[in-house]
Amino acid sequence: MRFPEVTGSNLEGREFNLPGDFEGNLVLAIVPFQRWHQDVIDVWAPAVKDLAARTPGFRFYETPTLSKMNRLYRWGIDSGMRGGIPDPATRAITITLYLDKEAFRKALEIPDEQSVHLLLLNRSGEIVWRTSGDYTPEKAADLERAVRAQK
């Protein structure tokens, strides 16, 4: 299974054609659907950042996934998120996707929008590992094993 081809912009205004524009040989795409998913991501963040710091070629991105909407609404949402994230490095790795969420979920075999999904992609966009939901030490260890296995 591959990450579907989609477009989005990070909170610094750079446009991306994904998965091709993801940087790194291995990429963890963190896919939230709900505002409250940020709390789940915040718990995952220390382990993911630590793994990225120790692993050359491994990168991660947050891809908040929202329904298609007009430019004015997108600007308002992105401005709100940008204002809530003071760190430019974090804004650079936050790529907002405005798309047909049902088609996106179907392509990724995600049954609903109730959980955060973490997808490990190789350079060609193939999903080589995945999990969803809350952080656990076991899931973090499984992610690290998957990253090491791809090196």
pLDDT in tens, the chain (151 residues): 999 999 999 999 999 999 999 999 999 999 999 999 999 999 999 999 999 999 999 999 999 999 988 787 777 788 777 777 878 999 999 999 999 999 999 999 999 999 999 999 999 999 999 999 999 999 999 999 999 999 7
Beta-carbon contacts of 53 under 8 Å, excluding residues fewer than 6 positions away, are none
Give residue 7's pLDDT. Answer: 96
Starting at the edge strand found earlier in the chain, the sheet holding 58-62 runs: 58-62, 26-31, 117-122, 127-132
- Contact assessment for residue 101 and residue 65, using Cβ atoms and an 8 Å cutoff: yes
Q: Which CATH code fits 6-150?
A: 3.40.30.10
What pTM was computed for the model?
Answer: 0.93
Give residue 70's pLDDT. Answer: 77
